[in-house]
Amino acid sequence: MSKLTTTIEPHDTSNAPARYETDVEGFTSEKTQYKEPTKENGSSGRSSEGEGPPQDPNIVDFDGPDDPENPLNWPEARKARSIVIVSLIALLSPIGSTISASAAASIMQHFKITDKTLGAFVTTIYLIGFAFGPFVIAPLSELYGRAIMFRSCAVLFLIFNLACAVSNSFASLIVYRLLTGIAGSCPGTLGASSIGDMIMREKRGSAMSIYIMGPVIGPTIGPIIGGYLTPAAGWRWDFWLMTISSGVVTVFVFLFIHESYPYVILKKKTARLRKETGNQNLRSALDTGKTPKKLFAFAILRPFKMLISPIVFLLSAYSAVVYSYAYLCFTTFPRVFKVQYGFGSGPSGLASMGLGVGFVVGIFFIGAVSDPWSAYLTKKNGGRPKPEYRLPTLIAGAVFVPIGLFWYGWSAESKTHWIVPIIGTGFLGIGIVTAYSTTTTYLVDAYTVYSASVMAANTILRCLTGGLLPLAGNDMFDALGVGWGNSVLGFISLGFLPLPLLFYFYGERIRESRRFKMDF
């Protein structure tokens, strides 16, 4: 196979880029010079005319910078529909994760369960499914595309929610919740990658803020729905509602989700041209000739390799910790507001509104400043964009996490008016969404060609932490009280505060360091 020079930027930020033996999403194994795909050089990352060796006439690529098959050139309406549908399923999935939080007591009573940890496990097992799903979804998407995975997971999500609604034992409910979480992890694994396929860097922050609304607002809506629906119709109707909703969304997914992954687009184009021309020597610009088995084996290990990178690991760990605080709140709000304030099931679910308002404020903050701030810093520093220009947003927003935890914990401990701790959770919500959104955008910008894998790595840590930490919430509050329990979490978040500042100044040096550079 002839040499294929690509220009994709995640690992190449120097003025005189070096060449590396690595894979473009696992599909180009020859030495490549990396530059992030742009409308000018095409989504496949092929270098512009005049760069590199002459093009092999048997290599199939996009037809210039304006090729309509290139997702970057799709009509704005088509991009908007795709982003809205991806955001919609990214909203529905986390609703399913927390809709059982307010129903936990009813589920325990129905199945005669007395262990509070098992009651919380009904909610958190879903997040453990979120952690395992990316193991398979990310590599399969890199082999067969985003669209087929969105469609397959939408159907499975529908089936397993139905199974939850009719489950006849606590054990079967736990298993079905795990499988629902695995299927529901698809939008979290592939959503940011799909946006990266369609939207260029300078507009990606705003588009990402729309998508982020689902994962951060969805968990807030779930307890409210469950808090009122469970007393009115029984806990099974929580899952019947999820089944009906996922059925409607599945129809939208099949109608409006189109393939955006360049590897798969060019693979189909190559097959079509072979059939039309009879030239069996044609091959995709992103094809290595490796078998799907070898590609899958390579791709399935990539998220774990990426976690060795200090940037990926530490930022994923930070977003995982603050993300788990939200689920700790969702699983302990019924306890705190029932015991401390005498709330019923419905009002206890409404306690999550404080987090929800904070999430919305944080989303508007990210959408308003992320792209302009990055553009300003790019212009100020010679016009060369860097992923690190996303991090000032995280620096500004990270302080809200400890503020919110201390405020919420001690106001609830001292039983001040119920609105005071809820306001505290609003500050926490601002910090959580800022951390989640900014780290997602930064990692996609920094590792664009590996976006599905880096998001899988991020999701694995985030969902394992979010699934396991809340299990200790009730025991922690029993031992320390609400005030000191939240203070411990606040001190942990304070320990992470220097992290975005460190990576803002030294992130590029770390990414380019030979010590940490590896073949992903």
Give the E-state strand segments of 74-120 in sequence order: none
Give the chain's largest Cα–Cα span. Answer: 78
Q: For the residues 295-303, what does the mean pLDDT come to?
A: 75
Report the predicted TM-score, pTM, of the whole model to 2 decimal places: 0.69
**Spatial CA neighbour of 406 closest among 519, 477, 484:** 484
| Domains in the chain, CATH or no CATH each | 74-258+297-512 (1.20.1250.20)
Tell me, what's the pLDDT at 247? 95
Each residue's pLDDT tens digit, 125-135: 888 888 788 87
Cα(151)–Cα(153) distance, rounded to whole angstroms?
Answer: 6
- pLDDT-above-90 percentage for the chain: 17
User: From the CB of residue 384, how many other CB atoms can be counted at a distance below 10 Å?
Assistant: 12
Tell me, what's the pLDDT at 158? 96
Whats the size of the chain, residue-wise?
520
Each residue's pLDDT tens digit, 259-283: 988 888 888 888 888 888 888 878 8
